[in-house]
Structure 1
Amino acid sequence: MPPTPLSETALIRSRRVVLPDGERPADVLVRDGKIERIAAHGSLPADDRQVTDLGDTALLPGLVDTHVHVNEPGRTEWEGFATATRAAAAGGVTTIVDMPLNSVPPTTTLAGLEAKRKTAEGQAWVDLGFWGGAVPDNLADLEPLHRAGVFGFKSFLAPSGVDEFPHLEAAGLEAALAEQARLGALAIIHAEDPAVLAAAPQQPGVHYRDFLASRPADAETAAVARLLDTARRTGARVHVLHVSSAAVLPLLRQARAEGVKVTAETCPHYLTLAAEQVPDGDTTFKCCPPIRDEANRDALWEALAAGEFIAVVSDHSPSTPDLKLLPEHGGSGDFAAAWGGIASLQLGLPAVWTEARRRGHTLADVVGWMSAGPARLVGLAGRKGAIAVGHDADLVAFDPDGAFAVHAAELHHRNPVTPYAGRTLTGAVRTTWLRGRVVDPAGEPFGVQLTRPRTPSEELQ
């Protein structure tokens, strides 16, 4: 069992506390791991409490990252619960939800889920939950997984890159969404169309422009259109993962206007990086769907500001350096052959804040995108994602002016590979609290495993 949360009361005060109704000076009183009271700055007496005065360092709610590939068990050399959750805590992330691949076994059966839970026990520096997977031939597994507390089901509409997690064809998607609608489950979808990808030019080599041409925006729009048509027929609640192309936004707007239950997310790398910046052979930038051009990035920011994305999440998808084929590790730098995935779990908050501040956004905006929104997506908004009375005291001391250069070898995730290496980012995490306790990456882990909140009807069963 994890250690008991902080038992005595503690007082944290800052002149920049980001609350649901905006940023202001405040005192935050914590008792037994929960936020007990929020009061005017300096109004609560110290008494015998532990007092932390942050001055002008901002106090944020812990981030919620609902798109993390931990990869354990089975591919622990790529990542693992200990390394991933230490990286999360160092980046101000206090809750993650683990993707059902690239672990072996994948989380497509109860046995796969139990293997994950058993492996993660005692290894988590932050709280964590699990997604299930909807793949061909596991329709009968969805209800048991749903009852066991997964937060929803991920599917691919194009090959996933690993054989043990195949994609859904049209009939399989229809059946999976119909079953998830019956269960009241959330379907989260990697939306690229295999026919469009197959028709695109496939030119191997070190030039990023050739890789970008091989994953065109049309692949996203075709897949999202098919997904939305299926959601209309089945009544399923669907969520489009890692939107890289702004061309899908009109489809999402129209579907919402018609009453389709659809949300979408984007990722720090799509908001902060651009195709024009990618050096030849630097496959740390490879991901699917790909990082697109600067004009597309601007359009994503406009949509984010307009509230069209519920969340900004990492899609932390690391691998070993050899799979990236990096030239500095003796690889070819071939974008077509390299493993696709961005390792950024520890850097999402400063990366997004660096660009957000440049564009005139506030810390409250970033908290909405990276904490409150993801918590709402997975049904944890009553417990996570805000500095509010009754919520878990998941908190982050964040210096919004603290600049630092990214050195990949100093990051906590298992393999020192990231496209942010060498960049200077603004915004430094100084302290992370999980349920009222300071998270120490060198100390003992005390994260707990979370399950999907049960609906009132389920509680009566």
Structure 2
Amino acid sequence: MELVFRARRAITADGEGPFDIGVDGSRVTAVEPYGTLTADRVVEPGTDEVLLPGLVDTHVHVNDPGRAEWEGFDTATRAAAAGGITTIVDMPLNSLPPTVDVPSLEVKRKTAAGRVYVDVGFWGGAIPGNGADLRPLHDAGVFGFKCFLLHSGVDEFPPLDSAELEADLRILRDFGGLMIVHAEDADTIEQAPAPHGVRYGTFLASRPREAENVAIARVIELARRTGARAHILHLSSSDALPMIARARAEGVALTAETCPHYLTFTAEEIAEGATQFKCCPPIREADNRDLLWRGLAEGTIDCVVSDHSPCTAELKRGDFDVAWGGIASLQVGLPAVWTQARERGFALSDVVLWMAGRPADLAGMRRKGRIAVGADADFCVFAPEEKFVVDVADLRHRNPVSAYHGRPLSGVVRSTWLRGREVTGEPRGELLVRGSV
């Protein structure tokens, strides 16, 4: 074999333990007991390190082209690699143009080509009036379609009303497409008090749990009625967990994700003026966070992805009513989730399932998110016991803004490997097409 990872501790599709992982070319060709394989090159992770599959993050806003000053493909994918992520799927906004037809997809691919340090796929967008573009985008290789049920924050990506969502779900059902939904109800938010000033509580009150609950109920009903697949993005309201669980038990094709910030932070700890914590839907109370963790344990929440939504430092300034809503977290998602998970008695293999295997399954990527024969040789060498304090100066995304700055975390990514080669200074990532991985 060309390469063997001789790991005293590895998390593979066969379980956790000491394994030899054989690699030829870009694929895993053998998973055997520790010490049994020979190769031209042997890499032995340290005694304090665990070999994980490369993580898969299916919720990343790269914003390039058009708003590359917020983030770009080079900086986003460098940050991803530094965080043990070997595959991302880029959202159809906030780039200009948004990815809502095949020509805009081609613009995005041309922008990314030759500049990515990890593998990159793309979501398409579902907006009013582009129903005829959904099948061509699917055929061109997007992994599914994102929609909003309220204003997205950018005018060029308007929301769908209920009739439009139902119509698009019917279109997607006919070719097995997936609709991923930012589920907050516009009417509920319009009736809530407007955010103002520096107190986080005023912002939290402006995005109540009920807004998510109403919107998720609507998505469930329309997915049930049409038979289409739907996915709830960035779940923050634990109130919605019972209805999601019931719908799935009834056979509705529904999945859900949450994000590291909802599993890490609590509303009670956010200081006045700390707009780096502003995101939509918002970070909620400690009891809500605990129930989200229960939802993960019970399998109601399928996966944990970043919703990396960065911007310039200037756009994060001001009161909670005007600051941009989004948290940059690509590089620190793994240690953030591991820090909280270990305190709650979860194993590292649980974190790998939530952040690698299940996101890959969501996107239909058979060769990603697992260490198994035939999978891409994507690895993360992780030191779970090493502690560090997050410093924005050490983060590789474009702008030095992060809610995690100053946060002590456990777990350090020592190296990241993409298709059998360590990610270093050369952008060797590929642009992925649905069905090719």
Q: TM-score, normalised by structure 2?
A: 0.98
Q: Over the residues paired in the alignment, what is the CA RMSD in angstroms?
A: 1.2
Q: Indicate the residue corresponding to 2:251 in structure 1.
A: 259
Q: In the alignment, does 2:319 pair up with 1:337?
A: no
Tell me, yes or no, if structure 1 residue 117 matches structure 2 residue 102. no
Distance 2:436 2:49 in 1: 37
1:371 match: secondary structure: helix
* Letter matched to residue 337 of structure 2: V
Contact kept, 8 Å, 1:124 with 1:448, in 2: the verdict is yes
Alpha carbons 2:28, 2:373 under 8 Å: kept: yes
| Match 2:399 to one of 412, 415, 426 | 415
Is 1:448 the counterpart of 2:398? The answer is no
Please state if 1:43 is matched with 2:27: no
Give 2:332's match in structure 1, choosing from 347, 368, 374. 347
Task: Output the CA distance in 1 between the equivalents of 2:216 and 2:326.
Answer: 21
3-state SS of the aligned residue for 1:59? strand
Moved segments of 4+, more than 4 Å: none
SS state of the match for residue 412, structure 1? coil
Is 1:379 matched with 2:375?
no
CA distance in 2, matches of 1:170, 1:359: 39
CA distance in 2, matches of 1:274, 1:393: 37
SS of 2:243's equivalent in the other structure is helix
- Which whole-Å CA distance do the structure 2 matches of 1:149 and 1:54 have between them? 39
2:193 is the counterpart of 1:201: yes
Deviation at 1:159, TM superposition (A): 0.5
Separation (CA, whole Å) in 2 of partners of 1:21 and 1:272? 30
Equivalent in the alignment of 2:353: 368
Query: Is the 2:45–2:381 contact (alpha carbons within 8 Å) kept by the matching residues of 1?
Result: no
Match of 2:160 among 144, 155, 168: 168
Partners of 1:203 and 1:121 in 2: how far apart?
A: 40
Aligned-pair CA distance for 1:56 = 3.4
Q: What is the CA distance between 1:68 and its match in structure 2?
A: 0.2
Where does the alignment leave 5 or more consecutive residues of structure 1 unmatched?
A: 1-7, 326-331, 456-461
SS in 2 for 1:226: helix
CA deviation map 1:43-66 (0-9, x unaligned): 2235x3243343331000000000
Aligned partners of 2:85, 2:436: CA distance in 1, in Å? Answer: 24
Equivalents in 2 of 1:21, 1:362: separation in Å? 15
Q: 2:24 aligns with which of 15, 31, 54?
A: 31
* Whole-angstrom distance in 2 between the partners of 1:396 and 1:258: 37
Asked if structure 1 preserves the Cα contact closer than 8 Å seen for 2:305 and 2:355, the reply is: yes
Separation in structure 2 between the aligned mates of residue 129 and residue 202 of structure 1, nearest angstrom: 36
Aligned residue pairs: how many?
A: 437
Secondary structure class of the residue paired with 1:396? strand
Point out where structure 2 has 5 or more consecutive residues left out of the alignment. none
User: Which residue in the other structure is 2:265 paired with?
Assistant: 273
1:80-127 Cα offsets, whole Å, 9 max, x none, are: 000000000000000000000000000001111000000000001000
Q: Tell me the amino acid that sits aligned with residue 392 of structure 1.
A: D
Shift of 1:174: 1.3
Please report how far the alpha carbon of residue 22 of structure 1 lies from its aligned counterpart in structure 2 after TM superposition: 2.3
Shift of 1:250: 1.1
Preserved contact between residue 12 and residue 54 of structure 1 (Cα < 8 Å) = no
Q: Which amino acid aligns with 1:182?
A: D
Does structure 2 retain, via aligned residues, the 8 Å contact 1:88–1:126? yes
SS at structure 2 position matched to 1:398: strand
Aligned mates of 2:174, 2:202 — CA distance in 1 = 43
Is the counterpart of residue 430 in structure 1 residue 414 in structure 2? yes
Residue 1 of structure 2 corresponds to residue 16 of structure 1: no
Q: Which amino acid aligns with 2:403?
A: P
1:8-64 Cα deviation digits (max 9, x unpaired): 711111211011232101111111011111111122235x32433433310000000
The SS at the match of 1:67 is: strand
Query: How far apart, CA to CA, are the structure 2 residues paired with 1:60 and 1:288?
Result: 31
Mapped to 2, the partners of 1:102 and 1:60 lie a distance apart of: 31
Native 8 Å contact 1:100 1:133 kept in 2: yes
In structure 2, how many angstroms separate the alpha carbons of the residues matched to 1:435 and 1:215?
A: 42
- The answer (yes or no) to whether the contact 2:8–2:45 under 8 Å persists in 1 is no
Is the counterpart of residue 238 in structure 1 residue 236 in structure 2? no
CA contact (8 A) 2:262 2:289 kept: yes
- Letter of the 1:113 partner, please give it: L
Give the direction of change, closer, same or farther, for the CA distance of 1:397–1:118 in structure 2 (3 Å limit).
Answer: same
> Aligned match of 1:287 in 259, 279, 287?
279
**Structure 1, residues 227-274: CA drift from partner, whole Å, max 9, x if none?**
111111111100000000111111111211221100000000000111
Q: Are residue 158 (structure 1) and residue 144 (structure 2) matched?
A: no
Q: Given that residues 274 and 293 in structure 1 are in contact (C-alpha distance below 8 angstroms), is that contact kept between their aligned partners in structure 2?
A: yes
- What is the CA distance between 1:454 and its match in structure 2? 7.2
Instruction: Quote the Cα distance in structure 2 between the aligned partners of 1:59 and 1:44.
Output: 16
Which residue matches 1:55?
A: 47
- Give me the whole-angstrom Cα distance separating, in 2, the residues matched to 1:14 and 1:33: 19
Q: State the secondary structure of the residue aligned to 2:299.
A: coil
Question: TM-score, normalized by length of structure 1?
Answer: 0.93
Q: Secondary structure at the match of 1:116?
A: helix
Q: Supply the distance in 1 between the matched residues of 2:202 and 2:196 (Cα, whole angstroms).
A: 7
